[in-house]
Amino acid sequence: MKMKVMFLILFTAILAFSCSRKIDGEEIAAYQFQRSSSSDNSVVYRKAAPSLEMSDQHEMIAEEESTGDSMSADLSNAERKLVKRAEVKIRVDNLEAADASVADILKRYNAYAASTNIMENANYYSLRVPSPMYDIFLGEMNGIGRLINRSESTEDVTLRYYDLEGRLETKRELLRTFQAYLRRANNIEEILEVETRISELQYEIDGTGKQLRDLANRIDYSTIELTILGPAAASPNRNLTFGERIKQMFSNFGAFLSGMGVFILGFIIYCIPVLLLALFLFWLLFGRVGLLKKLWRVVMGKKQET
């Protein structure tokens, strides 16, 4: 009787051990199927046995689509994620004072200049402003100088933001699952396959995380492209007063006289010596001295003698 009981216990233990190994193998095979059938746009990862029929796979895809629709419906009550951008152009009388004003406003609202380009008659700034201070900051720009142009745009990235966030959390959860399987792997082949999938998941997590961080930065900090023009850059495009026109006329006349002076001076320096040299050569060759005329007579006289 005791032998029968011991034999029954031993048989039960062997059966339980073999079933445990079979289950572990099926779980890993299920994730292999998930890896080949899932896309990056899937929000939820599911276990599926490799022996699923096509009808079962279509049923899973339909379930995922319905889950995505419910997620879109839930976003209607979520916080809107907006990316704001503006381009502002103003005109000032003093560029140095305007630059100091911009620096003071940036410090006051905890903003910063991503890039700055200082030129002779204009300054260009790419400003990053905390989004809650965006409207107030734009109002401060009007106090720097006279507004020439302002354009604004707002992009709603709510769906993209929560999609990236959901995909990132799903990949992290799947990574934790595979890390748990790694500790329970039974042979080298399973270990290598799980480690490969873990490496791929980590790469996908890093890429999705970078996209989410970049998008979050654009949401948290709005961009303002600011152009400040000085008076010299603005003068050709504005109407001149009567006094300015008189001043401009005398300035143009002075420029004309200056040009004439340069022409006369150049004529005296270059043209008169050349003219005097030409007159001297004419006098020497054809004039009273007439060297060429004398030479011609000598040649003609020799011809007549012969």
Q: Taking the domains of the chain in order of start, what are their residue ranges?
A: 81-237
Q: How far apart are CA 203 and CA 151, in angstroms?
A: 39
**Tokens (6 digits) for 56:** 């079962």
Q: Rounded to two decimals, what is the model's pTM?
A: 0.52
Asked whether the predicted pLDDT for residue 145 surpasses 60, the reply is yes
DSSP state of 186: -
H/E element holding 285?
Answer: helix 272-285
pLDDT of residue 119: 87
Distant-in-sequence, close-in-space partners of 97: CB < 8 Å, separation ≥ 6? none
Q: Centre a 10 Å sphere on the Cβ of residue 90 and count the other Cβ atoms it contains.
A: 19
pLDDT of residue 6: 55
- Confidence tier at 273 by pLDDT (50, 70, 90): confident
Taking the CA of residue 190 as centre, how many other CA atoms within 13 Å lie in the half-sphere pointing to its CB?
Answer: 20
Asked whether the predicted pLDDT for residue 191 surpasses 80, the reply is yes
Q: Between residues 281 and 109, which one has the greater pLDDT? A: 109
Q: Centre a 10 Å sphere on the Cβ of residue 129 and count the other Cβ atoms it contains.
A: 25
H/E element holding 269?
Answer: none
111 and 129 in contact (C-beta within 8 Å)? yes
